[in-house]
Amino acid sequence: MPDHPAAQIEAHIPGLRRFARQLLRGDPERADDLVQDTLERALSRWHLRRNDGDMHGWLYTILYHRFLTDLHREKRRNAHHRSTDVAVDGPEVEGQQEAALIHRDLLRAFAELPEEQRSVLFLVTVEDLSYGEAARVLGVPIGTVMSRLSRGREKLRRYLSGERQPVKAQLGKVK
């Protein structure tokens, strides 16, 4: 069976997990829940997928929809939802200290961005989606992708040029 879903979906699982973790900052358990949901959904809608071979985009779209649905449900539940969980789910600071510190600052800054900008930046830079693909996944026009990208990048630049020193200095002076 060349058309078996498992073989085609399997390769995308690591990417889906990355995307989910990015969306649910610092909660890998919930991120995997989201991925599991996505996979179940993908399997049940397998026959509905468009046959243009864009498995990547299709799966990411399902995941993002699930994410938004959950988010809205959650928001409705606790009326004054305030996202306080800006825990930075960064890579372990080991080995190359310098690179790790820069990464940590960057990821912290990245985590401060609004979700829409983070998602665009993530899909375009980390996952290498084209602007058109990113627009389809996020369900917005391509122009919106471009403006979110531009705003996200600029915000990140400002944040990093202002914030990088303190974090580094503080850690550097520990005796």
Partner 1 sequence: MSDIPGPIGDDELMAYVDGRLPTQRAEAVGSYLAAHPEIRERLSRYAEQRQALRAAFGERADGPIPRRLRLTRLIAERRQRRRRRFAEIAAAILLVALGGVGGWTARDLLFPLASLASAPAVGTIMADALAAHRTFAVEVRHPVEVDAAQEAHLVQWLSKRLGRPLVVPDLSATGYRLMGGRLLPAGSGAAAQLMYENGAGDRLTVYVRPGVAGEASLYQHDKDVGAFYRADEGLGCVIVGDTERGALSRVAERVYEQTFPGIPKHDLAPQREKNG
Nearest approach, Cβ of residue 173 and partner 1 (Å): 24
Q: Which residue has the tokens 């990355």?
A: 18
Q: Which is nearer to partner 1, 3 or 80 (CB)?
A: 3
Interaction mask 70-99, partner 1, x per CB under 8 A: --------------------xxx------x
Token duo for residue 134: 């990113």
Nearest approach, Cβ of residue 60 and partner 1 (Å): 15
At residue 175, what is the residue type?
K
Q: Which is nearer to partner 1, 17 or 168 (CB)?
A: 17
Query: CA angle, 74 as apex, 72 and 79 as ends, to 5°?
Result: 95
DSSP summary character for residue 91: P
Token duo for residue 173: 């002076």
- Is residue 17 a contact partner of residue 31, using CB atoms and an 8 Å limit? yes
Q: Under the criterion CB under 8 A, does residue 171 sit at the interface with partner 1? A: no
DSSP string, 109-136: HHHHS-HHHHHHHIIIIIS---HHHHHH
- Is residue 121 a contact partner of residue 149, using CB atoms and an 8 Å limit? yes
Among positions 106-135, residues that touch partner 1 (CB under 8 A) are: 106-107, 110, 121-122, 124-126, 130-131
Among positions 12-51, residues that touch partner 1 (CB under 8 A) are: 13-14, 17-18, 22, 32, 35-36, 39-40, 43-44
- Is residue 26 a contact partner of residue 85, using CB atoms and an 8 Å limit? yes
Q: Under the criterion CB under 8 A, does residue 6 sit at the interface with partner 1? A: yes
At residue 161, what is the residue type?
S
- Point out which residues bind partner 1 (CB under 8 A): 1-2, 4-7, 9-11, 13-14, 17-18, 22, 32, 35-36, 39-40, 43-44, 90-92, 99, 102-103, 106-107, 110, 121-122, 124-126, 130-131, 146-147, 149-150, 153-154, 156-157, 160-161
